[in-house]
Structure 1
Amino acid sequence: MTRLRTFLGSMAGRLFVILLLGMMAAAVGVTLLAEAHRRQDFERQNLARIADRLQGFVNLLDANPELRSRLLAVGGANVREVKGAFRVGEADTGLMQILAEREGSVAGARVRATSFRACLPPFPEFLPPPERTSAPPPARRRDAGYLPPRCRLVELELGDGTPLKLALQYPSVARSGSFAFDPLFLSLLALAIAALAYAVARIACAPLQRLADAATELGQDLQREPLPVAGPREVRRAAEAFNAMQQRLQRHLGERTQMLAAITHDLQTPLTRLRLRLENVADVPLRERLVNDLAAMQALIREGLELARSAESAEQRVALDLDSLLQSVAEDAAEAGHEVVFGQGCGAVLLLRPLAMHRLFSNLVDNAVKYAQSARIDARVRDGQVEVCIRDHGPGLAADELEAVFTPFLRLETSRSRQTGGAGLGLTIARTLAEKNGARLVLRAPSDGGGGLEAVVTWRTPAWSVPRR
């Protein structure tokens, strides 16, 4: 049910439903119209045959006046002379229109519905009359597959002006039931329409899906291969526009990185001269404050350049053992004198950029030890997702600050530490690196209530994983 709901919520699913309902309605409508047209043709042909019989009999009477009485006594095919009075009903306009188009005496004939007794031959006089009873005669059972015979009273004048009344019998004919469709035919039609609608929906939405996948990959890798320009004219135009946008983004980020690198390089010389001159300041407290400010300025420049480079990386993905990477990050931090341990491993091998991932987890570990002096790294596979958790036992963050700390140049020293180091770009760079490698970085409070903070990196796309052999 979840898959069906997901499919119907997609563009392909909605297009499939629209095509299915539209083509089914069109097929049913065309079938009904064809059935109605077929019935009309059948009725007209049947009336034409009845008119032929009537015209043949009337022409025979006109051509043989001396045999007229004997012909009327014998009658023709479903035609006989009417003697006596019978109840009449509405005029049969269909048969009258057909007779009016013909030549001879039948052209001016008047046809009306009458009792079926008028079409029955008279009973012989030696038969006893039927007994009259109060009970009504039993109703005749009608077969739903046939139209019962009908009787029409035809009034006309022969060629010599003799008036004539004839009883014309419509024979019973087979008719279709109320449900004129074959269930097997409907099932095959619905199956064929559903298959065609699904194929058309998938074909129509495939370029849109490729464009969406390319946009997702572009957010993770700006240096990805351009989108192939193929397909219909509209699809080619969309692919060309997407590739042009990718090129503009690459050029923009390249220019920005180059500009920051040039600024950083040009600032190194004056900053070095300024550092040498500050060493000659006689006031020791003033000299220390100025040197610290200069060091903060240099750190800010370096981290700004690192942030720009993190958004534009040409490093290729390789199959990386995640446990080995996390173990090396923990050992590097421990060698630097920090209390960092690697606890649980997950055994996952992922397609990642090694340098970017090392910088990502190093930033998270540095952030943890700066505010809590210790950290623990754990990796696990949960619900088909690879999750890396870096836990510290520091003062933690308020709920409204868990997302705000990812804002560039934003520092919350009052809630985390009394130190003022850092430029407020560490977590921003870490999230950028995570997104570039198909992961999601969030901060959260530990579920065990022990205090501190957890930085969790999650890979939610199984396509990034490589099975370990």
Structure 2
Amino acid sequence: MKRLRRFFASMVGRLFLILLLGMAVAAIGATVLASAKRQQEFERQNLNRIADRLQGYVNLLDGNPELRERLLAVGGPSVRELPDGARQGRKDTAMMAVLDDRPGPVAHAEVHFTSFRSCLPRLPELLPPPPPHKMGAPKRPRERDPSFIPPKCRAVSVVLSDGTPLRLALDSPAVAHNGILAVDPLFLTLLVMAIAILAYIVARMASAPLQRLADAAAALGDDLQGEPMPVTGPLEVRRAAEAFNAMQQRLQRHLGERTQMLAAITHDLQTPVTRLRLRLENVPDEALRERLIGDLGAMQALIREGLELARSAESAEQRAALVLDSLLESIVEDAAEAGADVRFDHASGAVMMLRPLAMHRLFSNLVDNAVMYGQSARVSVEQTEDEVVVRIRDSGPGLAEDELEAVFDPFVRLETSRSRDTGGAGLGLTIARALAEKDGATLHLRNHPQGGLEAVVRWPATWRVAPGPRAG
């Protein structure tokens, strides 16, 4: 049911539903109208056949006065003399309109509907014998067959050429009228299935360009240097693709200009910063000299991290099949050799299509943050059918709930000492998230239920090369 609701919430589902309902109503309506037209034509032809029989019998009576009595006693096909006392109902204007165009006495005949019993033969031998019943057994009332449709009977008043009036009974089999909903179930099922298949195909074709645009927009967030959209399809789709490609080019140009500007600033600042450092070495006051040199070093670190942030979004490093466990083990080993309390707890065997250098920088930043603020780091990897997850947990005090997202903003430092040695420049997590998102991952922080802060990097399964063996 959840998948069905999601399907009808999409454009494909909505177009499918609109097309299905619209085409089904139109097709069923056309079928009903065609059936009604066919029924009307059948009734018209039936009236003509009945009128032919009446005209032939009346002409026979009109042309043979000496045989008239015998002919009336015998009757004709579907025509006989009307019994005395037969009641007349409403006029049959349709039959009278048909007879008006006929030559002879029937042109001026009056036709009324009457009871179908007036058209029954009067000879008792033509009636079926009653069913036998046992002696002494009560007679059960005769039940009427629900499928029985009584014939239509008409009372025809006509005056022959010699002025003799006649009253005739004209019978015709009743025509069953199909109701609007009386449609062949097999035909209706096949019709709806054909309409549903056609509606689904049309809906998919109509929404495919929008889906391609959405996929291209998602890919643009991961890789700004990706291939442009192909400019194909209808006019509106081509215009959307051209606008998207133009936007991508503007973003590439803007990011390139920003990176070049930061690189130029960094390069140009190297010389004056070096001169400042040489001059600060000559300051006689040792305490003042150390403080000034520390501020100068912080300035250099800030410039380097700003340039690294810009380069992280524009990196042209190619993706390759990367064994995630091996990368994390090497980072953990390097941190442990430096004296940090770092351990790799759980491997997964996942192989991912990632940028090796960018991923090394990403997890190094996260491990360094865990060691700096939480005094330890525990690294683990898990993979399921839907995703691959890397968790890096420290043993620190954690963060307030409103700070879990704020720390990803540039230059945000929650360390209150403002020391560059303990708090950094405030760009480490910003760079880490930019690197993760460029390779299709999400990065967020959470307070672990058992204490400490946990960084979670999550990839969908589509980034996995092969499932690989799962380590216990």
Same fold, TM-score > 0.5, yes or no: yes
Structure 2 residue matching 1:154: 3-state secondary structure: strand
AA matched with 1:44: R
Structure 2 alignment gaps of length 5 or more:
125-137
Alpha-carbon distance, 1:65 to partner = 4.1
Q: Which amino acid aligns with 1:439?
A: A
When structure 1 is superposed on structure 2, of 406-415 and 431-440 the one drifting more is: 406-415
Deviations along 1:254-287, one digit per CA (max 9) or x if unpaired, are 1111111112211222222222222222222222
Which of 154, 157, 162 in structure 2 is aligned with 1:155? 157
What's the offset of the Cα at 1:413?
0.8
The separation in 1 between residues aligned to 2:95 and 2:299, in whole angstroms, is 105
1:55 is matched with 55
Q: 1:373 to 1:411 in 2, by over 3 A?
A: same
Structure-2 residue corresponding to 1:458 = 458
Distance 1:416 1:89 in 2: 108
Q: Which amino acid aligns with 2:145?
A: R
- After TM superposition, give the deviation of residue 199 of structure 1 in Å: 2.1
Change (3 A) 1:417 1:386: farther
Question: Secondary structure of the residue that 2:247 maps to in structure 1?
Answer: helix
Asked if 1:376 is matched to 2:386, the reply is no
Amino acid at match of 2:87: R
**Contact 1:152/1:168 (8 A) holds in 2:** yes
Q: Match of 2:76?
A: 76
Amino acid of the residue matched to residue 5 of structure 1?
Answer: R
2:289 corresponds in structure 1 to 287
The answer to which of 298-307 and 27-36 deviates more is 27-36
The SS at the match of 2:290 is helix
| 2:104 counterpart of 1:101 | no
In structure 2, the partner of 1:344 is 346
User: For structure 1, which runs of at least 5 residues remain unmatched after alignment?
Assistant: 125-134
Counterpart in the other structure of 2:20: 20
**Which string of whole-angstrom CA distances, capped at 9 and with x for unpartnered residues, describes residues 26-66 of structure 1?**
22222222221111111111111111111222233333445
1:256 counterpart = 2:250: no
In structure 1, the residue matched to 2:401 is 399
In 1, the alpha carbon distance for the partners of 2:73 and 2:373 equals 123
2:324–2:349 contact (8 Å) kept in structure 1: yes
Helix, strand or coil for the counterpart of 2:90?
A: strand
Task: For 1:109 and 1:140, locate their aligned partners in 2 and report how far apart those are by CA, in whole Å.
Answer: 38
Q: CA deviation at 1:310?
A: 0.9
> Are residues 1:141 and 2:140 paired?
no
State the partner residue of 1:228.
230
Q: Could you tell me which residue of structure 2 aligns to residue 180 of structure 1?
A: 182
Q: 1:29 to 1:264 in 2, by over 3 A?
A: same
Query: Is the Cα–Cα contact under 8 Å of residues 379 and 393 in structure 2 kept in the other structure?
Result: yes
Alignment correspondent of 1:89: 89
Deviation at 1:435, TM superposition (A): 0.7
Q: What is the identity, as a one-letter code, of the residue corresponding to 1:280?
A: N
**CA separation in 2, counterparts of 1:225 and 1:339?**
43
Stretch moving more, 96-105 or 32-41: 96-105
Contact 1:439/1:459 (8 A) holds in 2 = yes
Count of paired positions: 458
Q: What is the TM-score when the length of structure 2 is the normalising length?
A: 0.89
Residues 349 and 467 in structure 1, CA contact (< 8 A), matched pair in contact too: yes
TM-score relative to the length of structure 1:
0.89
CA contact (8 A) 2:443 2:455 kept: yes
The answer (yes or no) to whether the contact 1:364–1:430 under 8 Å persists in 2 is: yes
**Offset at 1:415?**
9.6
Secondary structure (helix, strand or coil) at the match of 1:458 reads: strand
Matches of 1:402 and 1:116, distance apart in 2 = 90
How many Å apart are 1:122 and its aligned residue? 4.1
Task: Give the ranges of 4+ consecutive aligned residues of structure 1 lying more than 6 Å apart after TM superposition.
Answer: 415-418
- Following superposition, the deviation at residue 2 of structure 1 comes to 3.8
Q: Find the residue that maps to 1:147 and give its secondary structure.
A: coil
Match in the other structure for 1:38: 38
Deviates more, 1:206-215 or 1:316-325: 206-215
Question: Hey, what does 2:438 align to over in structure 1?
Answer: 436
Q: Which residue of 1 aligns with 2:10?
A: 10
Q: What are the Cα deviations for residues 399-455 of structure 1, in whole angstroms up to 9, with x where unaligned? A: 11111111111111139999654221110110111111111111111122xx32111
CA contact under 8 A between 1:396 and 1:415: conserved in structure 2?
Answer: no
What is the one-letter code of the residue matched to 1:158?
Answer: L
The corresponding residue for 1:215 is 217
Q: Whole-Å Cα distance in 2 between the matches of residues 258 and 417 of structure 1?
A: 29
Distance 1:120 1:385, change over 3 A: closer
User: Once the two structures are superposed, what CA deviation does each residue of 1:176-202 show, in whole Å capped at 9, x if it has no partner?
Assistant: 588633333233223322222222222
- Pairwise CA RMSD of aligned residues? 2.8
1:443–1:456 Cα contact (<8 Å) kept: yes
3-state DSSP of counterpart to 1:28: helix
Which moves more between the two structures, 339-348 or 174-183?
174-183
- Output the CA distance in 1 between the equivalents of 2:346 and 2:122: 108
Cα distance between partner residues in 2 of 1:416 and 1:285: 19
The percentage of aligned residue pairs carrying the same residue is 69
